[in-house]
Amino acid sequence: MREESGLATTWAARGWAEEDGIGSATLRRLVAAWPRRAAVTTSPDAVDEGAGYDAGLPDYPLRMVPFAEHPRFLAAAPERRERVLTGLWIGYNERVIATEHLIAEPAFDLVMRGVFPGSDHPLMRQGVQQAVVDESFHTYMHMLAISRTRELRGVRMRPEQPELVTHRRLRAVLAAMPEQWERDVAVLVWGAVAETCINSLLALLARDDSIQPMHSLITTLHLRDETAHGSIVIEVLRELYARMNAGQRAALVRCLPLALEAFAEQDLSTLRLELVTAGIEGADEIVADLRATPSGRRLVRDFSGAQRMAEQLGIADAVDFDFPERPEWSPGVGRQR
């Protein structure tokens, strides 16, 4: 209570009031809950302590592999198929780290630097800074996951990974924008979509008891934080959008479907890389067959958080994106658990 009172005094001194909207009850609740919710404050040693290891358990769920039933994959020796699953798990962690560094953190940095009107509000800055701390801890957790998996599975070499597909799409969009303010809006949108749709794969891995316990633990801790981040990002973007000028708003509406499509895309080059590295014959054939099917070209995503964000901004009808039905396993992006 003393801390909230202090913040309220600061808002008043700087001319902020409850009716500004930024001092919303939702954002205040999320900020106040951070010490009791964040993995970095509640479970800082969980990953260091480990969660047991069973050499007989796979590193990645077979049911989440898009080519699991392909004849070429089924014909491969069991140890080669296991190598693919290990590669997919390591690659997943590598992409999570890249997403934090290349997509989420630059968007948070724009808010912390006060680039957008309203982003200098102390409550907003506190919530975003908490998320930045979370993201740094997530990078640490996934870094440990890579290191331990490589050690336990004897993976000495990893192939060079292609550039993150979402970042490639962002760079292409930025290259076509002559104005810095447009590029800032695009970076903000990409970060918002990242924070509201990352939960899907985390939820599937966290709830899978067929994989290594450590993998489930890491994704469970990350998922808990990202569920809160979805709510924070929606609140922050709602307040920033209300203070944007017409040009910024139009750029946001234009960028949102582009970002959604980027995050929905399955990067088949990463799958091919793991198949080739594991020595699976017919890797090109497997990838070609995936490319020929709509499901093979799309990642499993839950866009309900981004859909809610568009609805709260009042732009849902203007966003050219076919939002799918929310999957049953969705943890509910944008709703704190």
Tokens standing for residue 161: 């990974």
Q: How would DSSP label each residue in 241-293?
A: HHT--HHHHHHHHHHHHHHHHHHHB--HHHHHHHHHHTT-TTHHHHHHHHHTS
Residue 283 has pLDDT above 70, yes or no: yes
Q: What is the pLDDT of residues 226-282, one digit of tens each?
A: 989 989 999 999 999 999 999 999 999 999 999 999 999 999 999 999 999 999 999
| CATH classification at residue 278 | 1.10.620.20
Inside any domain, residue 103? yes
Mean pLDDT of the region 161-184: 97
Q: How far is CA 252 from CA 120, 139, 146, 148, 238, in A?
A: 20, 28, 35, 40, 12
Domain contains 325:
no
* pLDDT tens for each residue of 85-102: 999 999 999 999 999 999
Predicted confidence at residue 17, as pLDDT, reads 39
Identify whether 12 is part of a domain: no
| 328 domain-assigned | no
pLDDT (0 to 100) of residue 329: 52
Q: pTM, whole model, 2 decimals?
A: 0.88
| CA-based max dimension of the chain | 70
Helix ranges (H only) for the chain are 2-13, 25-37, 39-42, 46-49, 71-74, 78-99, 105-112, 122-153, 165-175, 180-197, 199-206, 213-242, 246-264, 268-277, 283-291, 304-313
Residue 23: pLDDT band with limits 50, 70, 90: low
Question: How many percent of the chain have pLDDT more than 90?
Answer: 72
pLDDT bin (cut points 50, 70, 90) of residue 328 is low
pLDDT in tens, 38-72: 999 998 888 776 568 898 999 999 999 999 999 99
pLDDT the model gives residue 331: 52
List, in sequence order, every residue forming a beta bridge with 298; answer none if it has no partner.
265
Phi, psi dihedral angles at 303 (to 5 degrees): -100, 20
Residue 182 to residue 251: CA distance in whole angstroms:
6
What total of structural domains would you count in the chain? 1
User: Residue 9: CB partners within 8 Å, gap ≥ 6?
Assistant: none
Average of per-residue pLDDT across 163-185: 97
Give 50-70 as a DSSP string: -----TTS-SS-GGG-TTTT-
Whether 32 is covered by a domain: the verdict is: yes
Give me the chain's average pLDDT, please: 88
Residue 322 pLDDT class (50, 70, 90 cuts): confident
Average pLDDT of the residues in 198-220: 88
- The rounded distance, in Å, linking the Cα atoms of 200 and 207 is 11
Q: Residue 270 has what pLDDT?
A: 96
* Residue 118 counted as domain residue: yes
Residue 326 lies in a domain: no
Among 146, 190, 196, 188, residue whose Cα is nearest residue 168: 190
Mean pLDDT of 130-151: 95
Q: Is the dihedral of CA 62, 66, 68, 72 positive or negative?
A: negative
Q: Which domain holds residue 139?
A: 23-318
